[in-house]
Structure 1
Amino acid sequence: MSNALSIVAVTDTLRNLLLYAINADDELAGAQVTTSPLDKARGGGTPNQLNLFLYQMAINPAWCNMVIPARVKGGESGFPPLALDLYYLVTAYGSKDDETLSHRLLGQAMRCLHDHTTLETEELRNALPGNDLHAQGERVRITLQPLSLEEMSKLWTTFQTQYRLSAAYKVSVVLIESTKDAKSALPVLTRGKEDRGAAVLGSLYPSLTEAVPPAPMPSLRLGQDLEIRGNNLDKNVVKVRISGRHLSQPIELDPLSGGTSEALKVHIKSESEDDGALARWAPGFYTVSLMIDLPEIAHWATNEVPFALAPDIAIETIPKDPPPGDLALSVTCRPRIREDQRVTLLFGSQQISVASVTATNASEPTNLKFFIPDVKVGSYVVRLRVDGVDSPSAEISELTSRLEFKEGHKVIVA
């Protein structure tokens, strides 16, 4: 693992390699290797020069979420190192701007980096006192990184300077150690009660597949039974647990008798059966699971499946056969609507935002007012949508035994 000096250690190591390579050529002796930005690389003089510019750093995808195995054992949680890929641009400047010398300089530099595909331990150790990049387990590799003409042009345009002959390289990977400590749990001394080991059952665990409201409605209403379907549901079911965003804590209910291995039912009490039902529940989506009492295991919960609890509405204060024009509707909703819920009135095919909500005590339904502009002559079905769940607007007719819109949920404008 390496410390925060790793980046400059790589730069200094590359600089030393290039400096040695170009000065091995007698005609290039005395050449300089700088590490300046592109717009400041060429100073006042005009000697032979290579500029090594670190123009980009990127997270290495292979190491970004991986802890070091030697530092963190199985069962422990550690913080991954900062894994970086470094991108360098090598630019050649010939003496007195001689392009022939520029080509010769860059050729020497590219041959050096081609032959030197990894940075050796001693090279990294000697480049900068105090750095420990040489101690990391992963080798530091050098790879030619071809850039398209567009990419190269953008890079030079950023620094508002003229393009010079250059080659790009990628150096990977540099692992900078995190300063956060790993967390180590105490060893396990016993497994299970009296060190009996893991509990083993001879049959499959119960699992849920769906929660179904009474047919043919897509959503449940207060006072109805919710049917829970799955497999192996006759294995010591203790409670039915219902969870939701607007519940301060999950509600646990007793399942109804008569359940089978594939289905059981639970009753959601209405306000006539439970005085606190209107305040306890809210329209919206919930999840249901089963609490199972298994041998040698404390209460165990199955997987969760979703269901929707629909708002039950009544239309108040509407004149009989109102004339065309602006219309005001007052609607009551059971169960009560919470302050952070999204409420929309569906008036025919229109969606109308709520105008006002009247706060009442917890034992009464929520009162809402809506204003519908420019209503034309016709018959309109009214629905209330709360957090994406619509109030039921149809019921099975006793005369035809078919689904028909509720008369009490229609507004006829004549």
Structure 2
Amino acid sequence: MSNQLAIAAVTATLRSLLVRGVGIPDVTARPLDNARRSVTGHQLNLFLYQVLPDAAFRNQDLPRQIKPGETGFPALPLMLSYLLTAYSDDEDDTSAHRLLGQAMSVLHDHPLLGAAEIHNATLPTTDLSDSDLHQQIERVRINLDPVSFKDMSQMWTTFQIHYRLSAAYQVSVVLIESTRSPKTPLPVLKRGEDDQGVISQPDVTPPFPVLSSIALPKRQLNAQPGDVISLFGSNLATGTAQLRSSVLANPPQPTTAPVSDAQLDVTLPNDLPPGYYTIRVDVASLPDTIPSKELSLAVAPVITTALPMIVARVVSPTTITATITLGSSVNVLLEQRVSLLLGDFEVRRTFPVPPPPLPASTNTFDFVIETPTGAQFPVATGVALLARLRVDGVDSEFIVPLGPGDPETTPLEFDENKKITIN
């Protein structure tokens, strides 16, 4: 395997090969517009114009270095594309053509770069002495690349210089080893308790806990703090529900009450902040705990401010402002996104400017709607608009709950008591 010096090592080896094979000292590796700088005699120039990944080696483990059961990081496999151009010391290109033919003959006779050739070419160079390309197991191959005249001429046009007859070569594969350490777990010495191996059962139902669905209280779109939700699946009777959050490091955990092997009733904590969670069931099984898969659970905020509400606008010489203050049953973290939805209009939580030291969490939010005096107010005035408090994408409830004795087929209706009017 090779390190990050591999590309430069390939270029140095090709130059060394051409110097020895053609017999001229001026073999350079310069861009096309700078190839003839300070050189007037016979010259060969190698221009590396493209580096592409080699798809055949892209996801392969390192040969002889990754054993079964270990996880390594694949090497970076590269294909290097070079443009070989010949120059002569006179105006007649015949000498340049002869030079190009000699160089192509040398590369044709050396389709593989040998380990000794690579090592001898890089060892005298201080910057490349640490290259280990010569230790790469996969051989480095040189192939003539049939680049069309159109693509070749476009390359020369890019550098705004006159076209010269050139030959394109592809050199591959160059494997640059990843610097990340592989995962090398210890081998398995015992398969299960008393080395009894795999235990099978003649049943399509798996022996571990399976969580398949969640049932919320009737007609609720999301769960709320303090709700009792039902988890359904199999092998759940001895399990305990666990909540996880990408926002909270240690969210409060629910209490679990088994109903049957296929159902658990879970009571959410009253202080559970709103937002998105995942819920799973853990079943204790010596020596470890077996978890089920996780399902998504949205916990909605609960507005504690009395609604419906009427808010009066404040008119100043420069602005017209409406300030709405709402409270929530549970504190919300400062970094959580909080907004108020009035009809189809959304306004973000407003912080004082400049902000004073703020608590890490709060359950009171200010929403300020402001527009210049004389401009149209962005929210309809004098109209009761349905209000929803949104925390991290989860909206508070806005559907009329079922009353005692109401059938489940009762049509859904917006809650008229969840409205705000701006005058």
Q: Which one of the candidate residues 330, 333, 339 is aligned to 1:335?
A: 330
Q: In 2 relative to 1, CA 73–43 (structure 1 residues): closer, same or farther, beyond 3 Å? A: same
Q: Distance in 1 between matches of 2:90 and 2:218?
A: 90
Using structure 2 for the length normalisation, give the TM-score.
0.77
Is 1:388 matched up with 2:393?
Answer: yes
Structure 2 residue aligned with 1:233: 235
The Cα offsets for residues 150-205 of structure 1, whole Å up to 9 and x where unpaired, read as 75456546656443222222211223556777665555554545x43556353513
Q: What is the one-letter code of the residue matched to 2:411?
A: R
* Percent identity of equivalent pairs: 38
The 5 Å alignment of 1:19-34 reads 19=19, 22=22, 32-34=26-28
Q: Which one of the candidate residues 78, 102, 110 is aligned to 2:104?
A: 110
C-alpha deviation, 1:244, in angstroms: 1.4
Unaligned runs of 5+ residues in structure 1 are 24-29, 271-276
Q: Distance in 1 between matches of 2:182 and 2:147?
A: 40
Q: In 2 relative to 1, CA 201–243 (structure 1 residues): closer, same or farther, beyond 3 Å? A: farther
Q: What is the one-letter code of the residue matched to 1:241?
A: Q
Structure 2 residue aligned with 1:51: 45
C-alpha deviation, 1:133, in angstroms: 3.6
For the residue of structure 1 that corresponds to 2:305, the secondary structure is strand
The 5 Å alignment of 1:5-404 reads 6-19=6-19, 22=22, 32-42=26-36, 46-63=40-57, 66-76=60-70, 81=75, 83-129=77-123, 133-147=133-147, 152=152, 155-156=155-156, 161-176=161-176, 184-193=184-193, 195-198=194-197, 200=199, 202=201, 204=206, 205-230=208-233, 232-234=234-236, 236-249=237-250, 251-261=252-262, 263-270=263-270, 277=271, 281-294=272-285, 296-316=286-306, 326-356=321-351, 366-373=363-370, 374=377, 375-396=380-401, 398=403, 401-404=410-413
C-alpha deviation, 1:302, in angstroms: 0.6
* Range moving further from structure 2, 160-169 or 134-143: 160-169
Q: In 2 relative to 1, CA 43–251 (structure 1 residues): closer, same or farther, beyond 3 Å? A: closer
Q: What is the one-letter code of the residue matched to 1:369?
A: D
C-alpha deviation, 1:381, in angstroms: 0.6
For the residue of structure 2 that corresponds to 1:10, the secondary structure is helix
C-alpha deviation, 1:378, in angstroms: 1.8
The Cα offsets for residues 76-126 of structure 1, whole Å up to 9 and x where unpaired, read as 455655544333220111340322333343344334434543224454455
C-alpha contact 1:317 1:329 (8 A) present in aligned 2:
no
For the residue of structure 2 that corresponds to 1:404, the secondary structure is coil
Unaligned runs of 5+ residues in structure 2 are 124-128, 315-319, 371-376
Coordinate RMSD, CA, aligned? 3.9
C-alpha contact 1:314 1:408 (8 A) present in aligned 2:
no
Q: In 2 relative to 1, CA 380–310 (structure 1 residues): closer, same or farther, beyond 3 Å? A: same
Q: In 2 relative to 1, CA 145–250 (structure 1 residues): closer, same or farther, beyond 3 Å? A: farther
C-alpha deviation, 1:208, in angstroms: 1.9
Q: What is the one-letter code of the residue matched to 1:403?
A: L
Structure 2 residue aligned with 1:27: none
The Cα offsets for residues 285-329 of structure 1, whole Å up to 9 and x where unpaired, read as 1111111134x5522111100010001113349865868985332
* Range moving further from structure 2, 9-18 or 333-342: 9-18
Using structure 1 for the length normalisation, give the TM-score.
0.78
Q: Distance in 2 between matches of 1:70 and 1:323?
A: 75
* Range moving further from structure 2, 195-204 or 317-326: 317-326
Q: What is the one-letter code of the residue matched to 1:206?
A: P
